[in-house]
Amino acid sequence: MVVLPDQPPNKKPLTSFARYSEIGFIIPACVLLGLLFGKLADYWLHTHWLYVAGIVFGAVVGFWQMIRRAMGAFNQDD
């Protein structure tokens, strides 16, 4: 498909929907992974507090990834 320079590229609605719905799953997935890895580290190291550090770390990483994806999607829509 040839795109002329004066016309915007054809955006598929399903692709846009997938990109934006992905943003809503990033934070819960990162928090859940942080919890699971924290619980696993607690089991291996015989501690009882690493799951909290895993949750906090997962939340920080989730927000960071969400902001990165949102900025990338915003820049692609221009």
For residue 77, name the pLDDT band (cuts at 50, 70, 90). low
Question: What is the per-residue pLDDT for 35?
Answer: 97
Question: What is the per-residue pLDDT for 7?
Answer: 46
Q: Which long-range contacts (CB under 8 A, 24 or more apart) does 24-28 make?
A: 26/62, 26/65, 26/66, 26/69, 27/59, 27/62, 27/63, 27/66, 28/62
Domain boundaries, the chain: 23-77
Question: What is the per-residue pLDDT for 16?
Answer: 74
Find where tokens 């507090």 sit.
Answer: 49
Model pLDDT for residues 8-59, shown as the tens digit of each residue: 555 677 877 777 788 788 899 999 999 999 999 999 999 999 999 999 999 9
